[in-house]
Amino acid sequence: MMNPVPTESLTTTPDPVRPTGEELDHQRAAIAALGRELRALVDATVRTATPPEVLHRMTDEVRRLTGQLTGRRRARAEIPAVDEFPGGVRMHSPVTGPGSPLAPPMRVTPDGDGVVGHCTLGIAHEGPPGYVHGGMSAMLLDELMGWACYAAGTPAMTVSLRMRYRRPVPMETLLRVHARVAGNRGPQDLRGRLDQRRGRPVGEPGHRGRDLRRTRPRPGPRPVPEHALI
């Protein structure tokens, strides 16, 4: 005789109610405000030399605050109710999300034949002393070239990324990241570049391949939506 399926395994979590209008604006503003304070906490955590007793006290306090987040938890691959995907607001993106404690966050705007992002990376993103971790440079360019794909009307997934590091990326310096679609022969070819805002280039990927077979191409170029410019 087979064991009965536990009742709790048959329970499904209802889809979240997606806010609209003024309610959506309030929700996003609250998420962004919390993200800003979390980024300040992360910066203070990795920057400040603190006695162990203070760290233990902070640990207890953070654990208490975490326990207050008792709302519904979204499932893996579930799009947050406050997001617009693809090509729109991603409130918790580790690159552009104002609600993410990991993000700079990077601001994305249209720029000629592509898109441009501006951000400043802090000590939480440090690799070599005084400079940004090389993986962060790749992540910024990867994210922005995804925006370039969408702006060109062909959103897709990354299949390869080649980077050339020309010099170290300084921390706490305004950075400019540019990406554009360079061709569309087979896997889509993109070009990107990361510079200091008023300085020399510090990195660029030599080739970007994106798998178009799993994505329905959208005809014609399109502007980056204004609502996506966080």
Per-residue pLDDT of 120-147, as tens digits, reads: 999 999 999 999 999 999 999 999 989 9
Q: Is this model's pTM higher than 0.85 or not?
A: no
Residues 6+ apart with CB under 8 A from 171: 121, 122, 123, 125, 126, 130, 131, 132
Contact 141, 205 (CB under 8 A): yes
209: nearest Cα among 166, 150, 145, 153: 145
Given a cut of 80, whether residue 160 has pLDDT beyond it is yes
pLDDT digits 0-9 by tens, 43-66? 999 999 999 999 999 999 999 999
* 114 vs 225: CA distance, rounded Å: 13
Virtual torsion, Cα 124, 130, 135, 136, nearest 10 deg: 60
- Per-chain mean pLDDT for the chain: 81
